[in-house]
Amino acid sequence: MRKRFIRVILAVIILFASVVFYLSFKFETLRYGVAPVVLESVPRIARKTGWNYGRLLRKDYPKATDIHFVEEYNLLNQQVFELGRAIETLAAQGHTDTEKEQKWQQLRAEREKIRPFAEAVVEQQVASVVSDEGLKVIFGRILPPPMFIFADSYYILVASPRHEIRFDKSRLLGRELHLSQMDEIETQFELKYPGMVALVQDVGGLAVFYPAYIFHQGSIRELLELSVHEWLHQYLFVASPLGRAFLKGGKMHTINETAVSLLGREIGDKVYMRYYASTDSLPLIEEEFRAYINNLAQRQNDTKPDVVKTEGFEFQGFMRDTYLEAVSLLAQGKVEEAESYMDERRRTLAASGYNIRKINQAYFAFYGSYADSPGAIDPIGPALAKLRLRTTSALEFIRVLRKITSYEEFLQVMDEWQITATGRF
Residue 25 has pLDDT above 50, yes or no: no
Q: Is the pLDDT of residue 17 over 80?
A: no
- Give CA separation, 357 vs 199, 342, 349, in Å: 9, 12, 10
pTM of the full structure: 0.81
Tell me which of 27 and 289 has the higher pLDDT.
289
Cβ neighbors of 327 (< 8 A, separation 6 or more) are: 165, 424
Q: Is the distance from CB of 215 to CB of 154 less than 8 angstroms?
A: yes
Per-residue pLDDT averaged across 192-203, rounded?
92
Q: What is the mean pLDDT of residues 82-98?
A: 81
Per-residue pLDDT for 140 more than 70?
Answer: yes
Residue 246 — pLDDT band, cuts 50, 70, 90? confident
Residue 44 confidence (pLDDT) above 70: no
Q: What phi, psi does 173 have (nearest 5°)?
A: -115, -70
Highest-scoring range by mean pLDDT, 10-14, 308-312, 399-403: 399-403
Average pLDDT over residues 162-187: 85
Radius of gyration of the chain (CA): 22
| Cα–Cα distance, 260 to 253 (Å, whole number) | 11
Q: How far apart are CA 77 and CA 217, in angstroms?
A: 6
Quote the distance between the C-alpha of residue 391 and its chain's center. Answer: 24
How many alpha carbons lie under 13 Å from residue 197 in its C-beta half-sphere? 21
Better pLDDT: 368 or 376: 368
Higher-confidence position of 297 and 88 = 297
CA nearest to 250, candidates 373, 362, 168? 168
Amino acid symbol at 117: F
**What whole-number distance in Å separates Cα of residue 306 and Cα of residue 300?**
8
**66 residue type, one letter:** D
Torsion angle, alpha carbons of 255, 258, 261, 265, to 10 = -120
Q: Which of 143-147, 181-185, 324-328, 351-355 has the lowest mean pLDDT?
A: 351-355
Distance of CA 184 to the CA centre of its chain: 25
